[in-house]
Homo-oligomer: A and B are copies of this chain.
Amino acid sequence: MRIGDVGEFPLIERLAWIAGRGRADVVVGIGDDAAAVDLGGEDLVLLTVDSQVEGSHFVRGCIEPRVLGRRVLAVNTSDIAAMGGRPTHALVSLVLPTELELEWVEELYRGLAEEADRFGVAVVGGNVARCEDGIVLDLTLVGRVRREHLLTRAGAKPGDMALVTGSLGEAAAGLYLSSHPELEIPERDALLARHLAPTPRVEEGQVIGAAGLATAMIDLSDGLGSDIGHVCDRSGVGVRIHAAKLPVSPAVERVAEQIGKKAWELALFGGEDFELLFTASPHAAGVLAERVSAGTGTPVSVVGEVLPAPAGRRLVLPEGIEVPLEPRGFTHF
């Protein structure tokens, strides 16, 4: 069998089965946004790695290297945020063709350093290697979280509410606009920025973790419709998402209208918003929404409710009809 026939998540599961043995100092191993390990300190240490591959994640001429540098750090920071943690240190592994302009790499690093400064991350090491076929950027991000503030994809309970920070579908709208310069949308620049250089919800994640009230959390990288499935898998629950409750901005409404889609479709199936999805009891949900918006200014919306596993994953369409929630979204392989 070939990798392309296996699928991304089954592949990870197979590899985890081979190499991911449990151990007392591994609090969270393979299969969450970040690993959480006990290295003897008061806090747990969070570890995550992500790649940006030329041709697959970015096209060299279509993104400024400085923006790409910010993006590389941001997407990893989002994974630390999803555990309730704060990022502290980064390692950067660069695989570069010899013909690449030095200025390109320096600009990449300037963007990386800007974003690192913004989130209190120190770049402490890395590696450079050669590959004439294209650029691969691998960033490893280390973070910290107090043990009692750690949130994972496991822990959601039937009866919990499902909530998201901010608004959804903007990155997908920006992605669409990036290949359709003819579309006239007043918010074009803001949506493009949301697509190219997302803002990880670090403060929001820490507020949610510190409250000790949420039951599970994940960041929305592949899209809510797909990512909610990871929470269901790890928590052993089902879910009902309400299309009408998905937070969408007027800008996303406008783009959706122009391209003949529904805004909730962009919100549900568009990837890379890097908002946080979390679950909490109905009472805790209200407290958390208030604390996040008071502490960070970011709105929080209830988008659904957690169900027992046999109920499966459901989507209530705006007209009230309930259908199975298809795990569409972005996957590798």
Contact = CB atoms under 8 A, between A and B. Distances in A.
Given A18-B110, A127-B50, A39 B88 contact: yes
Interface in A1-45: 1-6, 8, 11-12, 14-15, 18-21, 23, 25-26, 28-30, 32, 34-35, 37, 39-43, 45
A170 B138 CA distance: 32
A106 B18 contact: yes
B136 A95 contact: yes
Contacts of A45: 39, 45, 142
A128 B89 contact: no
A50 B21 CA distance: 23
A93 interface: yes
A51 interface: yes
A10 to B, nearest CB: 10
A182 B123 CA distance: 48
Interface string A104-131: 0110011011001100001111111111
Contacts of A11: 102, 105, 128
B15 A91 contact: no
A131 B138 CA distance: 13
B113 A6 contact: no
Contacts of A89: 25-26, 35, 37, 47
Contacts of A12: 126, 128
A39 B37 contact: no
Q: Top 10 A-B pairs ranked by shortest CB distance?
A: A4-B98, A41-B41, A133-B133, A35-B124, A19-B113, A35-B125, A40-B41, A19-B123, A140-B140, A18-B109
